Amino acid sequence: MTVSAPPSERTRVRRIAENADYERATLHAIIDAAYLCHIAFSDAKGAHCIPTACWREGEYLYVHGSNGGRLVKLLAQGAQACVTITHLDGLVLARSAFSHSMNYRSAMIYGVFEKVLDEADKRASMVTFMDKITPGRQAEVRAGSDKEFDATTILRIALDEAACKVRAGGPSDEPEDMALTVWAGVLPFVVQNAAPVRDEVCVAPPPGYVSAWVGAS
């Protein structure tokens, strides 16, 4: 249920409004559980929606990319953007075809990205990104070179204008369909870590976070 007001009119959830969630803790949890987001924007050639890696630091969502990339160029110029993240948790099978649904956690973030300009902040953000991928990895790999950082733009968007939508639970059937003799319930989805696959020329022993990967599901 909605427990706080939407931060703006365009973030107000109208369709199935009871699934809206404007709490900052919900937004943080959805972002932190994601490795990818989709960024929608438009230019002279039309509308685009591009998937890219993401991470959160405080009240900002961060992305990075090549200085020459279309996404980076447009966002760095102040283009309006909409960032979306969705986690699918299950297929909801109801007694009638049009009552079927899905369980999910989703977030939409509106606004304008800004460049991270300070060099120390850029480098710290990439460390945070590496720790998001696998905590402890940054300390073991070759750090980025000056050339690599010079060719990379890091952007961030404030979480000030965002809304979440969450559905959980079983089917919501119409009263007249409850007597139908048909299976109803949820087919859950679970994200599961699979066994690590060693690069065929790698001779290094697996670090702890690799050995523990399957158990971390």
Mean pLDDT of 143-155: 94
State pLDDT tens for residues 152-209: 999 999 999 999 999 999 999 999 999 999 999 999 999 999 999 999 999 999 999 9
Contacts of residue 92, defined as CB under 8 A and 6 or more positions apart, other chains included, come to 100, 101, 102, 103, 167, 169, 170, 171, 185, 186
Domains of the chain by start residue, with CATH:
9-189 (2.30.110.10)
- List, for residues 61-90, the tens digit of each pLDDT value: 999 999 988 899 999 999 999 999 999 999
- Rounded distance between C-alpha atoms, residue 211 and residue 196, angstroms: 8
Residue 2's pLDDT is: 45
Q: Exposed, middle or buried: residue 137 (CB in 10 Å: 0-12, 13-18, 19+)?
A: middle
pLDDT band at 16 (very low <50, low <70, confident <90, very high): confident
Looking at residue 185, its pLDDT comes to: 97
Q: What are residue 187's DSSP bridge partners?
A: 91
If you average pLDDT over residues 43-48, what whole number do you get? 90
User: How buried is 135 (Cβ within 10 angstroms: 0-12 exposed, 13-18 middle, 19+ buried)?
Assistant: exposed
Q: What three-state secondary structure class fits 129?
A: helix
Report the pLDDT value the prediction gives residue 3, as an integer from 0 to 100.
52
Angle at the Cα of 123 from the Cα atoms of 121 and 127, rounded to 5 degrees:
110
pLDDT, tens digit, for every residue of 46-63? Answer: 999 999 999 999 999 999
Alpha carbon distances (Å) from 142 to 122, 130, 153, 202: 16, 12, 19, 15
Band (1; pLDDT cuts 50, 70, 90): very low
Q: What's the CA gap between 133 and 140, in Å, rounded?
A: 13
DSSP string, 14-46: -TTGGGEE--HHHHHHHHHT-SEEEEEEEETTE
Tally the residues of the chain.
217
- Helix and strand tally (H, E) in the chain? 5, 11
